[in-house]
Structure 1
């Protein structure tokens, strides 16, 4: 058996091939383009404000540039081109006349019905032989017919006749579909024949070589190399190595800013002459004489020396980063654009720096890393006033509000806690302060910031009353989001501070759909089967209010325990980004819902009391950190077992399921009626009517017993 290759002579099947390939590429790409992204920044709400910084166009341009870097635009163009090709191929399929391959059929060749018997078949063959036999037929010149055509046609007629009458030929036809037996295997190629004929074959081989030998290995290799050269913080491995070498235990916040410029990512941004163009102008701007205790950019002498010692792209990146932190106008769209381009790179590198700091475990360096994240997102120099986070607040205005004699900066919550008249006077009744409209905008933004206020922190082990050695401990945080300046804050409901373990049969509570609720809370609700609020699902806080940062950022909160005596981290940070209850109602007012956060770690192996300092830090806002001293008390496991045994031995209450089961069990074993136990007065207070009924029941039982005794005596 031989193999034949047949090509699409008329190009009628070629559109099907192109349509299939285009659909295989376009449809999955469309799904990835339309599928909602899992990034927090794409689904979080925004803080409402009409403030726009001076470089709003440049900042929005950087956001659009990042969008293009994520290949969304390229994917969109590819999808449009794919659907255009699909539409064209569909049109060609609709207008092109297709001819299906003809199947060899002896009945069709002899032009007789399939119901014809042998007599009709023989008669039909004789009639055709009188016309088409080569000895009798003559070529028809009008049809360009030749003698060979007549002979071939007669051969087909003879094969068809034998396929219906000759036993051997008929078997071949039935088994293989052809009177001559098994035919050659034909492979159809949906390409026009002209592509591989007339000297075009070498070009086809060249195209296949480029696609399979060059393009495909390049795409796969680039993808693989891109995944291998990055850390989990999305930082180049070379940059992570540079950051590791920059780390030291005495580094300051300014030193961290300097360390963040050692990344290789800046070389891709400041390529060629960009590393030198405008460098002198930027350094002059950030090194101008102090106006409010420091240089306008926040540089101190040590930071200035670090800037002068660096060189190349790193020096330009460091100068631009200080210009960004100080909100220094560089009076040039190119330099200002580069200033906003290096800020997101520094934030990504700071995540890697934070991971390195956590590995060393020094609390001072961990806090410094988190604080630099706040500075980068808010575009505020280290140790600058937190009031700069509010719109229209400049260093001069912040200094005027805080007062010349103030040594410590005011936080946003400090300012908003002042009486309205005093706050307005500080912000609007002095030289170089805010206008009324600007003041109202700043206050409106402050009242939307998600300030997390801790209400209670405690340790527990699920299902246990005490924490034992090496057990899995949960640190439970109870907190409310109370924006700065919020008035009429309701008191804390003590029931909200409870953390109840779910019952064994409470599947919804076990899987986290509905929180477990205490018996007291159920009674106060008036319905023990009351379901949890359907809105109690993970909810995102508003995007960080950071008008100068050229990215959307969803706030993260980090909680960790530290040993204050040693200055070391005791329990690694737990990071949370969502809340289990709404932060604001439909009108935009704070809901004051109690939020619950939990982190797990293993208890120490020794019994004792372990004092810790708990740090709660938001990576997006300056001056909103919380710190609390907590004590973890670890009990002996033997003591815990004794407490469990005491609970098991204690008699269950009569109105509980266990008490009823115990009553039934004891009554069945004794074979007689079980006297009902009276509840202790300390456990339940009964009405006088109930008491009289109980006594009456007891008296009737006694009389029955006495009567039975007399009868037995008789």
Structure 2
């Protein structure tokens, strides 16, 4: 070992080091484990009975998650704090470490204000008293101790009287001059010396040779299994090979259920007997039959335009089970407790899988399939199959009742929410209350722009700028009644002011959570905006997800793309798809006119030619260069008759003006 460095003989430094490291680890870990969850600043946008019941379910799930986290950490924390207490108690019992500063006055036993004469007198008395030749040894005293004490007294005396010793004490804090620094390593000496050294080397070998490579390798291989969307590579391969440009809703559900992630979630227990496995599979078959019957009642069937080879068929027991659980969620089928817990885990794993499906469709630029994948997200959130009535989102309205009300009330199409609000059916008071505060996406403006240009030229960078906001449905009857009473400007102003105040009263924070009573997590509403060509079934501009949509003033958003290379009038569609609400999608046609680039102007040469009346023009004429005629004398554009006439001089006229008027 290098000189000046040694191991800890007493073991105190190692204890101090261990206590410090344990404190840095245990204190944050204990706080994060035992503290209550931070209060969510966002609130639910809906207070209906179904949402309140779902909030209780979500709170119970969060509590269960916290308990599982506590159970995993409680034993390591107890062991860690026990070790911390043991080391702290050892430090408490240990003698204090010597860290005294060299003080010659203290060694001589004299005050620091003593004069040199008093110091010499005191030293003379001590030298006679503690000289080794004159001291009688005590029962527990050795000659070396007496000699050491006399040497210390002599050094202390010299450090106060001798100039060289005084200078050493002032510079180095020691009368003997600079001393070799001694550093101690916070490892007990017994650990590295003697019989324990072989065990220390073995521990180093295990940690460095096996432990660290195992942890790093495990993390690396786990990351290699995942794609950028956070799904397994095997799942991405299944999605890529089976997704088609004409895949319908039923095949999308089957493809989603084929994800490899569900195999770990829905795998049967290892100790399950063969008989129990058959019963487990029989329950799923019975569930599938009941779901098929309910799906037929809702007229949900495969798309007739989908090719036969595009149909997705589940091939594993886990995929079949996952498909049944997803359909049970979409059809709002009540499941037993064990199946409901499996369904919950399936729904929790679904969001990244849905994102991956949409990204694969967008990678092929399939417009129809991309929109179908985007519609699948709110369908699962609201537990409404694609094609179902959006009225089923409202509390108290089932899927079957939603289809019936859609026919009887006419609440369908883009304005289904306004139509339902205008009906105000007394049979569903809570649904009416929720509908009046149910947000609907509105696009107020959409146009193409090129920065710094007035027209769109071929291959230019174009911005599709549109303004969007969330709005509340308005009762057409209320609007018409207000218009009938508005027979003066004052009445109109009063109605507008009153309407604004009412809107301000019922506006809630736009950063809250949406009405989603069937989804097992909080859901913030947002939408995706993309531009496509419906005739070619192609995505022109990749989607942009927007989550900060305001409720009051429209906010401007933009999609950037390159204009077509040929001048023409192009027809596109701006699609705005909600990721939370069913029936809130917007398809707005937009026309892009690409005009030829303007021809190069030839006025640059004229600009460089000076006028003949200017100094530069005179010099150019002397050199024989071309100059521009003076604007003062250039009257070729007008002809003025200056001949004397009885009626006075005639007015000037343009050269292209009709001269027949002179004959009148």
Whether the 8 Å CA contact 1:297–1:381 is kept in 2: the answer is no
Match of 2:125 among 124, 127, 136: 127
1:384 is displaced (CA, Å) by 2.4
Match of 1:155 among 129, 151, 155: 151
Aligned twin of 2:450: 461
Deviates more, 1:80-89 or 1:557-566: 80-89
SS in structure 1 of the partner of residue 387 of structure 2: coil
1:630 is displaced (CA, Å) by 0.9
Aligned twin of 2:282: 280
Matched, 1:565 2:561: no
1:413 is displaced (CA, Å) by 4.3
In 2, Cα distance between equivalents of 1:215 and 1:186:
34
Whether the 8 Å CA contact 1:354–1:369 is kept in 2: the answer is yes
Deviates more, 1:395-404 or 1:231-240: 395-404
Match of 1:329 among 309, 312, 334: 334
SS in structure 1 of the partner of residue 319 of structure 2: helix
SS in structure 2 of the partner of residue 470 of structure 1: coil
Matched, 1:2 2:6: no
In 2, Cα distance between equivalents of 1:73 and 1:598:
49
SS in structure 2 of the partner of residue 467 of structure 1: coil
Deviates more, 1:122-131 or 1:255-264: 122-131
Aligned twin of 2:99: 101
Q: 1:246 to 1:33 in 2, by over 3 A?
A: farther
Aligned twin of 1:388: 392
Structure 1 residues 67-466: aligned runs within 5 Å: 98=96, 100-113=98-111, 119-141=117-139, 144-164=140-160, 173=169, 176-189=172-185, 220-273=216-269, 278-288=280-290, 294=296, 309-330=314-335, 332-403=336-407, 410=412, 413-414=415-416, 416-418=418-420, 420=422, 424=425, 436=427, 439-466=428-455
Deviates more, 1:178-187 or 1:309-318: 178-187
- The superposition leaves residues 682-703 of structure 1 with CA deviations (integer Å, 9 ceiling, x where unpaired) of xxxxxxxxxxxxxxxxxxxxxx
Whether the 8 Å CA contact 1:611–1:632 is kept in 2: the answer is yes
Match of 1:555 among 525, 531, 540: 525
Q: 1:62 to 1:245 in 2, by over 3 A?
A: farther
1:441 is displaced (CA, Å) by 1.4
In 2, Cα distance between equivalents of 1:31 and 1:486:
50
Whether the 8 Å CA contact 1:324–1:340 is kept in 2: the answer is no
Aligned twin of 1:49: 48
Aligned twin of 2:614: none
Q: 5+ residue gaps in structure 2?
A: 481-507, 603-664
Structure showing greater Rg = 2
- The superposition leaves residues 308-348 of structure 1 with CA deviations (integer Å, 9 ceiling, x where unpaired) of 75223222222222222222222x21111111221232232
In 2, Cα distance between equivalents of 1:362 and 1:247:
10
For normalisation by structure 2, the TM-score amounts to: 0.70
Aligned twin of 1:503: none
Aligned twin of 2:580: 620
SS in structure 1 of the partner of residue 354 of structure 2: helix
Whether the 8 Å CA contact 2:541–2:560 is kept in 1: the answer is no
Matched, 1:478 2:467: yes
In 2, Cα distance between equivalents of 1:312 and 1:380:
25
Q: 1:420 to 1:618 in 2, by over 3 A?
A: closer
Whether the 8 Å CA contact 1:561–1:569 is kept in 2: the answer is yes
Aligned twin of 1:544: 514
Whether the 8 Å CA contact 1:466–1:635 is kept in 2: the answer is yes
1:398 is displaced (CA, Å) by 2.3
SS in structure 2 of the partner of residue 631 of structure 1: strand
In 1, Cα distance between equivalents of 2:440 and 2:420:
17
Matched, 1:606 2:566: yes
Whether the 8 Å CA contact 2:405–2:411 is kept in 1: the answer is no
1:576 is displaced (CA, Å) by 0.9
Q: 1:236 to 1:173 in 2, by over 3 A?
A: same
- The superposition leaves residues 354-408 of structure 1 with CA deviations (integer Å, 9 ceiling, x where unpaired) of 111111001111111111112211122232232222222223322432449x9x9
Aligned length: 565
Q: Name the Cα RMSD after superposition.
A: 4.8
Aligned twin of 2:657: none
Q: 1:178 to 1:60 in 2, by over 3 A?
A: closer
SS in structure 2 of the partner of residue 600 of structure 1: strand
Whether the 8 Å CA contact 1:386–1:409 is kept in 2: the answer is no
Q: 5+ residue gaps in structure 1?
A: 429-435, 492-537, 584-590, 643-714
Aligned twin of 1:686: none
Q: 1:604 to 1:208 in 2, by over 3 A?
A: same
SS in structure 2 of the partner of residue 287 of structure 1: helix
In 2, Cα distance between equivalents of 1:478 and 1:415:
21
- The superposition leaves residues 590-630 of structure 1 with CA deviations (integer Å, 9 ceiling, x where unpaired) of x5x43433222233343332211121111212222111211
1:108 is displaced (CA, Å) by 3.0
SS in structure 1 of the partner of residue 521 of structure 2: coil
1:415 is displaced (CA, Å) by 5.9
Whether the 8 Å CA contact 2:449–2:456 is kept in 1: the answer is yes
